[in-house]
């Protein structure tokens, strides 16, 4: 495509842009996902693009402490957790193309400039970078053959970083026309003073900020603790020049999954359908409602400890948290997740002091030595005390090391990631991989085939012999130790198609001891929980019932 040119999709795709004002963390992602859910329930075909105005190419190199979890897609894309929410709410597989960052947009333009594609012209933010952004969004919509393409703009309107994106969207609006594109602005309505008055000024200012860049919101989604007062709603409509019916109240919900239902009640989707002249086919939120009812009023309770490193930041394990919500709902069970710092377990004289009251233990993915010994201690505790256990990625690797140490008697068995000079590198880089590459894009990433041993526990859980799950790792079980480990009772019941890479392990004489090299949490969906999470919750429930038979 030449400079300045752009391809208009044949079918008029409608665009819904979601921006955020006043402050970050207002739940733009949940708003976007919820609107999408309502439109999907009306039979419309969706695409979604998340704009991240940071300069990183993707989230792959970002520290979970700072940024929350890195979500991994089927195609190996490492993205922001908002794409995880799109997948969970919309049950729509996303790919790298569904995310655009400042880094990606500039890189595409700079690469083209180096190739000489601009024929000696001065390359500028406008039009070259803005065209790239616009084309990226249109390509994503076209690839999905979407009726509606959702575009979520990360950051807050008024940030310098998001300016080129907003300009690109302004141009797209002009190009596709007003009836094909609308803007939803999420904002905060704080409560002040003794009388608890809902204040509209921050929203007014934030809408003014949008107008400054040539955008006009069609709908306001107002976050507040309680529902918007009708008078406040009217005032917002009037001062922000938005239809009163399109001033939406988004009070605190009991669960994020309830938000689509709260928006539906207020006619959000009907308003959008009219505004964009969409042609929906029916609507069905029945199964979703059943799921939400189970999440908010469960009969049973279990407590599961997640022994990790980023335990101060629940966002760092967001997909794990959500996978527990899905698995719990399917079993009418509330999963109380206790976030446990692996270093506390390491320091404890007896791990039982910290882990003793748990109904299950999960050791999640991780990188580097900090806390690794605590995780190994937690795995040993779960194995020996027969507490249901699930290991994921690093948790799978450390379960192998733990078994090698305490059952095979290889005292310093370890991953070479943790101890490069161990006598027994049971987890190692396979030939062709070097430790230098361990950071960044050279990991084994994305979905690939896993074959499950016939009749194994994991094959029963998946009701399948072949599965596709997502990976994000570099180290592998060292093939030199497999027959010894299996000889001592550990069973590798999932392998890659070549049979060389170990993917899942289980212990037969244990209520539930399962681990996987892949991350099952990324493919867990509200109505289709990850099988190994379901297995853990079920085993934890049995343990509770065995302890308190009358419950």
Give the Cα separation of 87 and 495 in Å (integer): 26
CB 126 within 8 A of CB 360: no
Q: Which is nearer to ligand GLN, 391 or 526 (CB)?
A: 391
Instruction: State the minimum distance, in angstroms, from the CB of residue 439 to ligand GLN.
Output: 10
For 129-153, the DSSP string reads IHHHHHHHHHHHHHHTT-SEEEEEE
Which listed residue (149, 222, 240, 393) is catalytic? 393
CB of 317 to ligand GLN, least distance (A): 12
Task: Look at strands 414-415 and 425-428 and give their pairing.
Answer: parallel
Q: Which of 89, 394, 481, 512 binds ligand GLN (CB under 6 A)?
A: 394
Check binding of 472 to ligand GLN (CB under 6 A): yes
Span of 147-155, 285-293, 362-370, 505-513 interacting with ligand GLN by CB under 6 A: 362-370
Q: Contact, 292 vs 530, CB < 8 A? A: no
Number of residues that bind ligand GLN (CB under 6 A): 10
Closest contact distance (angstroms) between CB of 430 and ligand GLN is 11
Dmax over CA atoms of the chain, in Å, equals 80
Stretch that binds ligand GLN, among 119-127, 249-257, 328-336, 467-475 (CB under 6 A): 467-475
Which letter does DSSP use for residue 510 in this model?
A: S
Q: Should residue 366 be labelled a site residue for ligand GLN when binding is judged by CB under 6 A?
A: yes
Cα Rg of the chain, angstroms? 25
Interface positions, 415-434, toward ligand GLN (CB under 6 A):
417
The answer to whether residue 106 forms part of the interface with ligand GLN (CB under 6 A) is: no
Is residue 29 at the binding interface for ligand GLN, with CB under 6 A as the rule? no
> Does 308 sit near ligand GLN (CB under 6 A)?
no
Cross-strand pairs, 525: 528
HEC readout, 462-492: HCCCEEEEEEEECCEECHHHHHHHHHCCCEE
The residue of the chain with the least Cβ separation from ligand GLN equals 365
Chain-centroid distance of CA 220 in Å reads 25
State how far the Cα of 324 lies from the Cα of 529, in Å rounded to an integer: 8
> 27 vs 76, which CB is nearer to ligand GLN?
76
For residue 239, state whether it binds ligand GLN (rule: CB under 6 A): no
Give the containing element (helix H, strand E) for 37: helix 28-40
Task: Kindly tell me which of 236 and 393 has the beta carbon lying closer to ligand GLN.
Answer: 393
Comparison of 309 and 405: residue with beta carbon closer to ligand GLN: 309
Q: Which is nearer to ligand GLN, 402 or 417 (CB)?
A: 417
Binder to ligand GLN among 474, 495, 510, 543 (CB under 6 A)? 474
Binding ligand GLN (rule: CB under 6 A), the pick from 106, 118, 239, 367 is 367
Q: Which of 42, 405, 473, 510 binds ligand GLN (CB under 6 A)?
A: 473
To the query of whether residue 240 is one of the catalytic residues in this protein, the response is: no
Q: Is 309 in the site for ligand GLN (CB under 6 A)?
A: no
Q: Dihedral through CA 26, CA 97, CA 181, CA 132, nearest 10?
A: 110
- Nearest distance, CB of residue 509 and ligand GLN, angstroms: 26
With a CB cutoff of 8 Å and minimum separation 6, the contacts of 299 are 332, 333
CB 51 → ligand GLN: shortest distance, Å? 26
Please state the closest distance from residue 16 (CB atom) to ligand GLN, in A: 34
Among 168, 295, 393, 534, binds ligand GLN (CB under 6 A): 393
Smallest distance, ligand GLN to C-beta of residue 496, A? 14
Three-state DSSP at 335 gives strand
Distance from C-alpha of 148 to C-alpha of 261, rounded to nearest angstrom: 20
Catalytic site residue 132?
no
DSSP state of 32: H
Cβ atoms of residues 410 and 426 within 8 Å = yes
The tokens describing 80, both together, are 């922001």
Closer by beta carbon to ligand GLN, 365 or else 446: 365
Q: Which residue in 20, 365, 391, 526 binds ligand GLN (CB under 6 A)?
A: 365
DSSP codes of every residue in 409-472? --TT-EETTT-TT-S-EEEEPPTT--GGGGTTTTSEEEEEEEEEPTT-HHHHHHT-SEEEEEEE
Least Cα distance to 368 among 269, 432, 424, 438 occurs for: 438
Query: Which residue stretch of 54-62, 184-192, 230-238, 360-368 sits at the interface with ligand GLN (rule: CB under 6 A)?
Result: 360-368
Is 547:357 a contact under the CB 8 Å cutoff? Answer: no
**Residue 96 or residue 472: which is nearer to ligand GLN going by CB?**
472
Question: Which candidate, 511, 495, 512, places its Cα nearest to that of 503?
Answer: 495
Strand order in the sheet with 46-52: 99-101, 46-52, 148-153, 14-20, 181-188, 219-224, 247-251
The answer to whether 475 contacts ligand GLN (rule: CB under 6 A) is: yes
Nearer to ligand GLN, 305 or 365 (CB): 365
Which residues, including other chains, have CB under 8 Å from residue 116's CB and lie 6 or more apart?
none
Query: Annotated catalytic residue: which of 69, 476, 519, 538?
Result: 519
The structure tokens listed for 425 are 């590198």
Nearer to ligand GLN, 104 or 473 (CB): 473
521 counts as catalytic: yes
| Nearest distance, CB of residue 309 and ligand GLN, angstroms | 10
Whole-number minimum distance, CB 261 to ligand GLN, in Å?
34
Stretch of residues binding ligand GLN (CB under 6 A), selected from 251-259, 298-306, 375-383, 473-481? 473-481
Residue 469 C-beta: closest distance to ligand GLN, Å: 13
Residues identified as active-site: 393, 519, 521
Binding site for ligand GLN (CB under 6 A): 365-367, 393-394, 417, 472-475
């Amino acid at each position: 495509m030449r400079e300045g040119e752009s391809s208009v999709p044949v079918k008029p795709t409608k665009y819904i842009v979601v921006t955020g004002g006043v402050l970050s963390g207002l739940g733009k992602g949940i708003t976007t996902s919820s609107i999408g859910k309502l439109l999907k329930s009306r039979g419309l075909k969706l695409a979604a693009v998340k704009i991240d105005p940071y300069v990183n190419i993707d989230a792959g190199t970002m520290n979970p402490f700072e940024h929350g979890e890195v979500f991994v897609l089927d195609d190996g894309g490492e993205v922001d957790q908002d794409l995880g929410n799109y997948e969970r709410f919309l049950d729509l597989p996303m790919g790298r193309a569904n995310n655009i960052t400042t880094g990606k947009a500039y890189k595409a333009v700079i690469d083209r400039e180096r190739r000489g594609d601009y024929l000696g012209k001065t390359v500028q933010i406008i039009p070259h970078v803005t065209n790239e952004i616009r084309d990226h969004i249109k390509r994503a919509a076209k690839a999905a053959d979407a009726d509606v393409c959702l575009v979520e703009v990360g950051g807050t309107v008024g940030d310098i970083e998001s300016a080129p994106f907003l300009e690109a969207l302004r141009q797209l609006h002009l190009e596709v026309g007003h009836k094909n594109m609308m803007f939803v602005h999420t904002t905060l309505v704080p409560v002040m003073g003794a009388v608890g008055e809902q204040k509209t000024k921050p929203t007014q200012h934030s809408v003014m900020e949008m107008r400054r860049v040539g955008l006009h919101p069609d709908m306001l989604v107002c976050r507040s603790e309680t529902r918007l007062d009708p008078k406040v709603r009217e005032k917002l409509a009037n001062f922000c020049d938005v239809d009163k019916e399109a001033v939406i109240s988004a009070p605190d919900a009991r669960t994020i999954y309830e938000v689509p239902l709260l928006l539906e009640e207020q006619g959000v989707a009907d308003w959008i359908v009219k505004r964009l002249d969409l042609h929906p086919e029916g609507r069905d939120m029945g199964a979703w409602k059943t799921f939400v009812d189970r999440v908010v009023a469960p009969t049973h309770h279990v407590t599961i400890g997640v022994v990790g490193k980023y335990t101060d930041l629940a966002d760092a394990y967001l997909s794990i948290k959500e996978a527990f919500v899905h698995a719990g709902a399917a079993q009418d069970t509330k999963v109380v997740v206790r976030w446990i710092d692996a270093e506390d377990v390491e320091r404890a004289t007896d791990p039982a002091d910290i882990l003793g009251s748990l109904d299950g233990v999960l050791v999640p993915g991780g990188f580097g030595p900090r806390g690794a010994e605590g995780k190994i201690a937690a795995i040993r505790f779960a194995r020996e005390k027969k507490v249901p256990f699930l290991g994921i990625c690093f948790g799978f690797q450390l379960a192998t090391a733990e078994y090698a140490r305490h059952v095979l008697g290889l005292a310093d068995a370890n991953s070479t990631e943790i101890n490069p000079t161990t006598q027994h590198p049971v987890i190692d880089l396979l030939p062709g991989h070097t430790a230098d590459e361990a950071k960044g894009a050279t990991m084994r990433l994305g979905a690939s085939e896993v074959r499950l041993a016939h009749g194994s526990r994991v094959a029963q859980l998946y009701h399948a012999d072949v599965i596709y799950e997502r990976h994000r790792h570099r180290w592998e079980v060292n093939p030199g130790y497999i027959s010894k480990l299996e000889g001592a009772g550990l069973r590798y019941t999932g392998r890659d198609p070549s049979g060389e890479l170990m993917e899942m392990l289980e212990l037969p004489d244990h209520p539930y001891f399962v681990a996987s090299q892949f991350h099952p949490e990324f493919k867990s969906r509200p109505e289709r929980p990850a099988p190994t999470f379901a297995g853990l919750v079920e085993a934890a429930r049995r343990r509770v019932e065995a302890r308190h038979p009358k419950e």
